[in-house]
Amino acid sequence: MTIHWCGTGLSAIPGLRRLIENGREVTVWNRTVEKAQEAVGDLTDDIRAFSLDALAEALKPGDIAVSMLPGDLHVPVAKLCLEKGAHFVSSSYIAPEMKALDGAFKEAGLACVNEIGLDPGIDHLMAHWLVADYRASDAYDAGNKLSFRSYCGGVPKIANPFRYKFSWSPLGVLKALRSPSKSIKDGAPFDVSRPWDAISAYTAPLPTSETFEVYPNRDSIPFMEDYKFDADWDVDLFVRGTLRLNGWADAWSDVFAEVETLEGDAGDARLKEMSDQFWDENSYDDGEPDRVIMCVELKAETDGADAYHKTYVMDAWGDDRGTAMARLVSTPVSLAIDMVLDGKAPAGVTAATADPALIDTWMGHVNELAQHVAVVDHTA
């Protein structure tokens, strides 16, 4: 059973190296062989030039294909896996086209594991843990009013005037600014056209309390079912979003104003210009530490008083092991591959595991990857 790891970008390397160092049979694929050789050439010489045709030729029944490639290649690689009788793993969100493959993967008895990086990934594990902990607590009551927040952000460890730095092309971040979001606020759907229309302050319960700017992203609402919220629960707030350093909104105000006006091919060209400029001015220097903060919070109220209120927090930063972002994205991917190899992954299209034993094991790894991981009980 061979692991075909496709893509050796900055966020892929620690998990890939872990698998090879643990003696797993790994074939490494990348569009540029030289870049892959720089990343893992000291560990393996089984490095090949990626193409869908070449991967199709190599895939065998029972193998695992891992896509750390651009998002538009995840579904084509997953479809190849179905054709060849192989499993699939990716850290990315489950697109509708991927979800549509669920029946085929189940029928074939193959695993298609997604959303198992940092965000999405570790945040799912924390959310599953909190919901299970709440259900098992004396505070549980189906009539409680619930608030759920999940925020994650990669920020510079050493703040800069722009209040943000880039590990790779800024184009994806700029495009995301044009995306709407859906969440629950005051018990009702809360639709936002642009992130800057819904920026608020969030105080993270870190060892030294720290306030950040946060905003909702994507569509949070389907995750209520994913996190096993009962349909009849009274949900006052449910939001998954992005976390940024204080001062980010002010530093980016001109960016917001311009992005709002961009349309068509000319707008896309201008976004590319902005991306190139931001990369020149605000990319990480060699060895400069990044930082990743994650806070997943669940609160249940009875008659206006907190009956249950816990936050799962993580704070990590770059060190001699490399960037925090790379460790926290790719190591969970490698753990998902172990899960498939051990026969513990369900057939079909799935996201990060809700299995309590696996969550404990995986969060144990996260505790080693991050400098601070804790569950804060606000009612204690």
With 0.85 as the threshold, say if the pTM is over it.
yes
- Give the model confidence (pLDDT) of 87-124 as tens digits: 999 999 999 999 999 999 999 999 999 999 999 999 99
Average pLDDT over residues 150-163: 96
CB of 131 within 8 A of CB of 298?
yes
Instruction: Give the pLDDT of residue 80.
Output: 97
306, two tokens? 């907190």
Instruction: Give the pLDDT of residue 10.
Output: 83
340, two tokens? 């498939």
- Give the model confidence (pLDDT) of 185-226 as tens digits: 999 999 999 999 999 999 999 999 999 999 999 999 999 999
- Give the model confidence (pLDDT) of 353-365 as tens digits: 899 999 999 999 9
- Give the model confidence (pLDDT) of 263-289 as tens digits: 899 999 999 999 999 999 999 998 899
